[in-house]
Structure 1
Amino acid sequence: MSEPTVLFARADGVATVTLNRPATLNSFTVEMHAALADALSAIASDDTIRCTLITGAGRGFCAGQDLNDRAVAPGEDAPNIGESIERRYNPMVRAVRGLRMPVICAVNGVAAGAGANLALACDIVLAARSARFIQAFCKIGLVPDSGGTWTLPRLVGPARAAALMMLGEAVSAEQAAEWGMIWKAVDDDTLMTEATALARHLAGQPTTGLALIKRALAASAGNTLDEQLDLERDLQTLAGGTADYAEGVRAFLDKRPPAFTGR
């Protein structure tokens, strides 16, 4: 029996998804895409999961596409990479972005190509100090995918995004944090401890309210100020009707810690 390409565990309201092809720096194959899609689908349909943590096994987070899975021999027709994007990478990013709960990424090593953009699709990214983010597509004549051309300019600005995508230079975890690409860089030996603690903390928060925050942030890039003000009004109406809002106010008045349920 071969090792599963994606490990999936649930505990304390947290789903932990681990990319598990460490010998290839967790690069994507058709099989790993399918396993990750199954894990994300299971998370989306499980109301007991209130936070998701994505990481990689071994010394890397994800090196992007496994090129052995897409090799072109002399004289052969080129593969239809657009079909691969449509069938696998785009659904992956949409599934991650569409999760109703906070999604944390713990980048434990190199995050290159689609691996970098998978990480940046998450809500909060922590990276080990040894981690590197590389928009490696230009090195083989490709265009950044997995949402990279949408996400990266919004995180670091168009000038830096263009240079990173056209030069393919590595960005250290500390530089990524300084530029606002990620939340923060942490020591390698504390990455998973900090990421797991953060996931458990978020799982105990008013997660319906956090889901509404995600909706507001996602809409803000395309909205005018007036449209965003109206959306904030509508989302606040929903948040104000939750049991967690009532519990938060009672706990504040009672001077005790709140017991949120995500409802």
Structure 2
Amino acid sequence: MPYDAIRVETDAATRVATITLNRPDKLNSFTRAMHRELAAALDEIVASGARALVLTGAGRAFCAGQDLADLDFTPGAMSDLGALIEEHFNPLVKHLQALPMPVIAAVNGTAAGAGANLAFACDIVLAARSASFIQAFVKIGLVPDSGGTWFLPKRVGMARALGLAMTGERLPAEKAESWGLVWQVTDDADLAQTAAALAAQLAKQPTRAIVATRHAMRASATQTLDQQVDLERDLQRELGNSYDYAEGVQAFMEKRAPRFEGR
């Protein structure tokens, strides 16, 4: 389908899809229309058989969060933020977390508010050296949403999470990397190529194993050790019956590179 607020590209050779948030004049801030396009694009990418996704932004920002111009501030008829979150932001975060492929955020500039937490909802975060992350909610009297209160404490600890959320201070990319929020920082000119190369590498891997690994890692946050090792057992049993496991073992025995198909 045609898109206005985003661009969608799929490389048939590498089976890597790329979604670019494409409202550069508005720092790629969210509107309801953008949300609808993102939901449709994610479904389209899954249907296409892509095996990795890169999410990035056009221009000088990754995403500046919600576009306030898309909200109604008329006294007595103000937009219901809870309804907005329930209808758009929460489904987007859940959709990204459940995709049957690895997702890379290539943060090319400012990631503020929901835009920062959109990046953290992805599996791996790459950032340009000039990028920054801002929990901007406090600046307009709000609480971090789009999973921010879940992602931040788990990744940087409570002290740093509260500091970021309560002050709304800008967190530079290299500091975000040292705190564990970012996998890798690259020179600005190298970000797109680095993200494409990593996505192509992941697309060649056993996709079901990658998705199962993501599921197990996230489950560990709320499970006991006994529950977690049982989950590992169940996932290993399931993957042990997959084509990619048989191919991986065969390739090892034949001393050649495996040809995984993601099944």
TM bin (shorter chain): over 0.9
Matched, 1:36 2:38: yes
Q: Does the 8 Å contact 2:3/2:37 carry over to 1?
A: no
SS in 2 for 1:45: helix
Letter in 2 for 1:177: E
Structure 1 position 71, deviation (Å)? 4.6
Displacement over 4 Å in runs of 4+: none
**TM-score normalised over the length of structure 2:** 0.96
Q: Read off the aligned partner of 1:248 and give its amino acid letter.
A: G
* DSSP 3-state at the match of 2:252: helix
- The residue number in structure 2 matching 1:214 is 214
- TM-superposed CA distance for 1:239, in Å, is 1.3
Q: Which residue of 2 aligns with 1:68?
A: 69
CA distance in 1, matches of 2:113, 2:258: 41
Equivalent residue number for residue 240 of structure 1: 240
The residue that corresponds to 1:201 in the other structure is 201
SS in 1 for 2:59: coil
In structure 1, how many angstroms separate the alpha carbons of the residues matched to 2:137 and 2:44?
Answer: 31
| 1:133-190: CA deviation from partner (whole Å, max 9, x where unpaired) | 0000000001110000001111101110011001000101100010001111110000
Paired residue type of 1:100: P
- Superposition pairs of residues 42-53 of structure 1, within 5 angstroms: 42-46=44-48, 48-53=49-54
Instruction: Kindly report the root-mean-square deviation, in angstroms, between the aligned alpha carbons of the 2 structures.
Output: 1.3
Deviation of residue 43 (structure 1)?
A: 2.3
Q: How does 1:173-212 map to 2 (within 5 A)?
A: 173-212=173-212
In the other structure, the counterpart of 1:133 is 133
Equivalent positions of 1:107-186 (< 5 A) are 107-186=107-186
Number of equivalenced pairs: 260
Which of 24, 27, 40 is the equivalent residue of 1:22? 24
CA offset at residue 223 of structure 1? 0.6
Deviation at 1:40, TM superposition (A): 1.2
Measured after TM superposition, the shift of residue 84 of structure 1 is 0.1
Question: Which residue number in structure 1 is paired with residue 56 of structure 2?
Answer: 55
Distance 2:235 2:16 in 1: 25
Q: Mind listing any 5+ residue stretches in structure 2 that lack a counterpart?
A: none
